[in-house]
Amino acid sequence: MPNVHLTEPMQKYAQAQIESGAYANLSEVVRAGVRMLMEKDGARQFYTLKADLEMAATLAENGDFAEFDAQAFEPDAFDR
């Protein structure tokens, strides 16, 4: 893994976190930051999906939809 280069304010913040006892070393501080980014990305994906579903529900409520024919979509599922 490559070295991490931090700006001076970031270095000072990370060092303060270590000195406060919140983290044992810089690696822990960086891992915590990456975890937060991962969580934020997961939340972003959730809210994008939520917005898409809300838009689809609004369109459907306004009659803007096509009937779905499950048998035409997957005919083999009905051959029992």
**Using CA atoms in the order 7, 11, 17, 23, what is the torsion angle rounded to 10 degrees?**
100
Confidence class for position 1, pLDDT limits 50, 70, 90:
low
**Using CA atoms in the order 30, 35, 36, 40, what is the torsion angle rounded to 10 degrees?**
140
**Rounded to whole angstroms, how far apart are CA atoms 19 and 55?**
48
The token pair that represents 74 in the structure block: 């997957």
Q: What is the pLDDT of residue 4?
A: 85
Name the pTM for this structure: 0.58
Number of residues in the chain: 80
* Mean confidence (pLDDT) of the chain: 92
Confidence class for position 57, pLDDT limits 50, 70, 90:
very high
Mean pLDDT of 42-54: 95
Confidence class for position 3, pLDDT limits 50, 70, 90:
confident
